[in-house]
Structure 1
Amino acid sequence: MRRTYGVIRVVAAAGILVAVVGQLAFSLSFNPPDTSDFLWNFFSFFTILSNCLAVIVLLFGAVYCFRVDIDPPWFNLAHTSVATYMVTTGIVYNLLLRDISLDQGTTLGWSNEILHVWAPLYLLLDWLFAAGRTALPWKRLWVVVVFPIVWAIYTMIRGAIIDWYPYPFLNPDQPGGYRGVIFYVILIAVVILAVAAGFFALSRVRKLQPPR
């Protein structure tokens, strides 16, 4: 069974990677090759970064599925962190961004659905049902929020310098200004912490069943 999860993880990682590359190629077709900062902007989207991290984590997870019965602690924490980012991506997109057109080129429909719906759903299911996970210590919960905090600081500093923000709700020129930005940042931070805390709690109440 554990090897089956390994194969599924490889397939899922390949699908997510194809979606990222597909969206990148599609966006590039609407921008001249010498468009300044295009690639930098593309990889500044939290969606793109979290999906790239998902590919890496799934491939590492696949390797562990073939080599060991119980995942190492570092991978359990990384897997949980990335699953948190992906679930948050799905929640934020479907609540705040689904009907908003972003300025990074035309959205590729099937890729958009994979990156914002199906990939987050798969990461959630993979975390819930894949064997080999152990209990997560509560003292490591802070690790999950490090990446989002660094990304938010980077985004706001870079946005102030070049006047470009990956998402409308992070732009202080929106109605409400920085108060609106702070409101959404706090709201998303609460979502991230709630999802992460849920994962940590479930990891401690679910009895680990080593694969046969």
Structure 2
Amino acid sequence: MQNSRGWATGWNAARVVIAALIVVAVGAQFASSVAEAVARGRDVATVVANFFSFFTILSNVSSAVVIAWLGLRFFARGRRLDVDPPALATALAFVSTYMIVTGVVYNLLLRGIPLQPETVGWSNEVMHVWGPLFLLLDVVLGPARRRLPWSAAFGAAIFPIVWIVYTLVRAPLITNPTTGVPFWYPYPFLDPSTGGWGSVVFYIVIIAVAIVALAVGVVAIGRARGIRSDGTRAGRPIERRAY
């Protein structure tokens, strides 16, 4: 069923809808953050740079681009049930991993932290709950997934490592536009002033391991139910139809 034309049509339509919802959610939060900065006389350039330094924002924007691309590509090609191209399939595995991590980390570590006045409640839930949940479902239900090599799982760790290095290098150089303290960390578990560097390193290691483990899981599920470029799935040919 998951590789039928009807299922693929419905799922790719859902991809486009969810991508649009994520973009609207990010846009609503961005507008609220900038409006609050202007109203309170904060440095708008810093607020904007900080906004796009959150892993949540980066993972949501990138996932919206990828799933919208997949969905629109499907309809632009006349709803042909073709296996995902290698680069697009790899990007999908990566953003799926990042969104699942975003959902897990937020709901385990950040859910109890009071929201800022500029936080848009429904947008926050879309980016931390509904978006990640859809990407998780896409891993197990999305049609025409390509069977990726195991190396793709380790490639998923590159962006988070770069982001962590960027965050830790940039944070001491930025004055917090809300509190005025001479540093700004996007998440409290990365702030050494709250729990020390030992705590920061601990969380980095745990999250890095979780990212690789989740990426391995995403690739493993894709390999179990995916389609090779030669048109076989789990060792047998998939049904070909003239559409």
TM range (shorter): over 0.9
Structure 1 unaligned residues grouped into runs of 5+: none
Aligned to 1:154: 166
Tell me the matched-pair count.
Answer: 210
The structure with the largest alpha-carbon Rg is 2
- The reply to whether residue 82 of structure 1 matches residue 88 of structure 2 is no
Q: 2:13 — aligned with what? A: 7
Matched, 1:169 2:155: no
- Partners of 2:63 and 2:222 lie apart in 1 by 19
Aligned residue number for residue 55 of structure 2: 46
Q: Contact 1:9/1:58 (CA < 8 Å) preserved in 2?
A: yes
Q: Secondary structure at the match of 2:173?
A: helix
Deviation per residue, 1:144-195 (Å, 9 max, x gap): 11110110000000012221110011011012x1111000011111111111
Q: Distance in 2 between matches of 1:47 and 1:131?
A: 26
Match of 1:72 in 2: 85
Q: TM-score, normalised by structure 1?
A: 0.92
Taking the aligned partners of 2:44 and 2:24, their CA distance within structure 1 comes to 23
Please give the alpha-carbon distance, in whole angstroms, between the structure 2 residues aligned to 1:31 and 1:18: 20
Q: Which runs of 5+ in 2 are unaligned?
A: 1-5, 175-182, 228-232
Tell me which of 205, 208, 212 is aligned to 2:224. 205
> More deviation in 120-129 or 88-97?
120-129
Please state whether the residue corresponding to 1:80 is helix, strand or coil: helix
After TM superposition, where is structure 1 displaced by more than 6 Å over at least 4 residues in a row? none
Relative CO higher for 1 or 2, CA cutoff 8 Å, sep ≥ 6?
1
Q: Give yes or no for contact 2:145–2:225 (8 Å, CA) kept in 1.
A: no
Give the TM-score, by structure 2 length: 0.81
Alignment of 1:48-197 (within 5 A): 48-66=57-75, 67=77, 68=80, 69-101=82-114, 106-162=118-174, 163-175=183-195, 177-197=196-216
Segment of structure 1 superposing worse, 202-211 or 149-158: 202-211
Aligned partners of 1:102 and 1:167 also within 8 Å: no
Query: Hey, what's the Cα distance between the residues in 2 that align with 1:20 and 1:140?
Result: 28
Higher helix share: 1
What is the rounded CA distance, in whole Å, between the counterparts of 1:15 and 1:141 in structure 2?
27
